[in-house]
Structure 1
Amino acid sequence: MGLATLAQVLRPLYDAFPPERHPELLVGLDGADDAAVFRVSEDLALIQTLDFFPPVVDDPFIYGQIAATNAMSDIYAMGGEVSLALNIAAFPEDLDPQILSEIFRGGAEKVAEAGGVIAGGHTTFDKEPKYGLSVTGMIHPDAIIRTGGAQPGDVLLLTKPVGTGILLTAAKQQRDGHETGFAAAVQSMLRLNRHASHLARAHEAHAMTDVTGFSLLGHALEMAERSGVAVVLDAASVPLLEDAVRFAREGAVTGGGGRNLEQLGERIRRTAALDQALVDVLYDPQTSGGLLIAVSRPQAESLRRAIEERESGCWVVGSIEAGAPIVEVR
């Protein structure tokens, strides 16, 4: 579902739960952030999120791992720690129970890696399998990192390369030579954002979000609009998964990417001539993408190096400037 449609669908909820009636809800519908945050005491708040989707790979165990990693990412995008998770699953009545067991096993492995626990869940029948998690995290109310908060002069960091949607499409279409890029996409989708989140908090990041279905450009625009600043994105510095541009050029683009391009419209401004295939990757919906972090310039290089030492990489992809809330791609 696109940004405009989602806002329209959620409108009745805004009216039903005005924020002034629920002061303990620190982050809710009005904030349109990565997760909800509910204060339970002066020094403790709960972070709540959920996510599920159909299989993106054939292996049920790896599918469970990816779905769980993706679901927990919103907790990390807020600067929190995963505590508790519940399985959400739908499957055909004739599905081999062993397949569902493998999906659950994959999810459980990732939740355990995150330091959390799965305490139950809910299943239902559907024509197509779907799996994900409802996740509860914890954080001090003063430590929340929101999508808004980026400040002029900040440096913009990205912790994972982009292109998963295009590479998953190329694999689904069995395009020649898709195996290398697909394997790289899977490894990226399996990596938790936990350590990067910890380090961003330690380096006093001003704003943070994870890059998922609305694409790198869409989530950068969310940060710009929530913060009241302009995001300047250096297209040449954006890390790309291997073969993503190649398959975009061959036409292995997603419907979601086209919707992102249409709905983001003139709020994304290109001031440089860019290869259309690269543009397609920048609008590509991501599964279990990295963190987009706005941090002060004095802290930026230290944070980048610290994340790079723990993860596969971290890249400076742009900066924050004063101005109208747009994304300028240079």
Structure 2
Amino acid sequence: MLTSSTTGDDAAVYQLSDDQAVVATTDFFMPIVDDPFDFGRIAAANALSDIYAMGAKPLLALALLAMPVKVLPPPVIRRIIRGGEAICAEAGIPIAGGHSIDSVEPIYGLAAIGVVHPRHLKRNSEAREGDALILGKPLGVGILSAALRKGQLTASGYRALIDTTTRLNRAGPELAAIPGVHAMTDVTGFGLLGHLLGMCRGARLGARVSMARTPLLDDVLAMAEAGRVTGASARNWDSYGAEVRLAPELGPAHRALLCDPQTSGGLLVACAPGAVGEVLDIFGRHGFARAAVIGSMSVGTPVVQVDS
């Protein structure tokens, strides 16, 4: 095994030979949108993200399906499955099987398998002092989801939600092959600060982040200021806020965005300053136009300092 439960990495990795390791992960959840096809796409992209975050290429997936079969019509269930298949086709992999059960609530996701050269494996614990921190996708998925649940999300906001959550983190394997890229993870349920703190703890370093340089989805700051936030963002802050130092001028809305749970969120990359240009070029080629340098790793205790 090249990972263990103590590393907090995104997937399990088992080395098969000198030049190949298998990467395994699973993820599933209940719908965050009403459209069944979009739900399937989002769930599949979210599950595959952990493969990409390890620097691996996905090989195949197994579908995990739990549906209230006496409530949801079969055509709706088929649409969920078709959404997952569409994302896997985009990733160039088959859904090779899976398992389904009857349940009270609809749940869908994947167990995904990938492969990586052990030399290119990227853990979340190997960042180095002075590394630049680059975020691949803008924050705010949880904010948009909260607005959607309250019936307050515009058509353009919904399109932004679907676009970001179904965009595969396919830049991962290319980024992992860059010698200057030292660590990588994806930002999901614990929010940016939670996943960055995981990097800090693993590397025994601190980090400094600029709020102004952190990309946000359109209008989410105003939504957060209006109170359209998730309960999960507050729970995230309660679990790790003692390890964060926020600039005094940053308010509750900024804090909510930094702790906002992301579904199928962006890659967070720690790389040598000299590799920043190449990392941003790769992100750009894969359609991540908002990728940005948001801060750096620093010597010190595992604490994140957030500047305005």
Cα distance, 1:202 vs structure 2 = 3.1
Deviation of 1:153 (Å) = 1.1
Which stretch has the larger CA shift, 306-315 or 252-261?
A: 306-315
- 2:37 and 2:270 map into 1 onto residues whose CA distance is 34
Q: Distance in 2 between matches of 1:105 and 1:244?
A: 30
1:172-191 pair list within 5 angstroms? 172-175=149-152, 178-191=154-167
- 1:201 maps to 2:201: no
Q: Which amino acid is the alignment partner of residue 135 of structure 1?
A: A
Residue 51 of structure 2 contacts residue 58 of structure 2 at CA under 8 Å; is this kept in 1? yes
Alignment of 1:86-235 (within 5 A): 86-94=62-70, 95-175=72-152, 178-194=154-170, 196-204=171-179, 205-235=181-211
Q: Secondary structure at the match of 1:198?
A: helix
Aligned length: 304
Identity of aligned residues (%): 43
Following the alignment from structure 2 to structure 1, what is the Cα–Cα distance between the partners of residues 269 and 16? Answer: 27
| CA–CA distance in structure 2, aligned partners of residues 139 and 214 of structure 1 | 26
**In structure 1, what is the Cα distance between the partners aligned to 2:150 and 2:285?**
35
Aligned to 1:52: 28
Post-superposition, which runs of at least 4 consecutive aligned residues in structure 1 deviate over 6 A? Answer: none
Q: Does 1:247 align with 2:216?
A: no
Contact 1:180 1:242 in 2 (8 A): no
Q: How does 1:232-311 map to 2 (within 5 A)?
A: 232-311=208-287
What's the counterpart of residue 69 of structure 1? 45
2:25 and 2:111 in contact (8 A); partners too: yes
CA RMSD of aligned residues (A): 1.2
User: Could you tell me how far 1:229 is from its partner in structure 2?
Assistant: 0.9
Q: What one-letter code is carried by the residue in structure 1 that aligns with 2:260?
A: D
**What whole-Å deviation, never above 9, does each CA across 1:162-204 have from its counterpart, x for those lacking one?**
10011111011012x533223212100010001x213312323
Aligned to 1:12: none
Q: TM-score, with normalisation over the residues of structure 2?
A: 0.96
User: Unaligned 5+ residue runs, structure 1?
Assistant: 1-24
Q: 1:269-297: per-residue Cα shift (whole Å, max 9, x none)?
A: 11341132122111110000000000100
SS at structure 1 position matched to 2:65:
strand
Q: Is the 8 A contact 1:34 1:209 kept in 2?
A: yes
| Amino acid in the other structure paired with 1:78 | M
Residues 1:118 and 1:284: Cα distance change in structure 2 (over 3 Å)? same
The separation in 2 between residues aligned to 1:235 and 1:328, in whole angstroms, is: 10
Q: What residue in structure 2 maps to residue 22 of structure 1?
A: none
Q: Is the 8 A contact 1:181 1:244 kept in 2?
A: no
Any idea what the Cα deviations from partners look like across 1:229-272, whole Å, max 9, x if unmatched? 11111111111011211111121111111110100121011134
Pairwise CA distance, 1:307: 1.4
Q: Say which SS state the counterpart of residue 101 (structure 2) adopts.
A: strand
Maintained 8 Å contact 1:166/1:253: yes
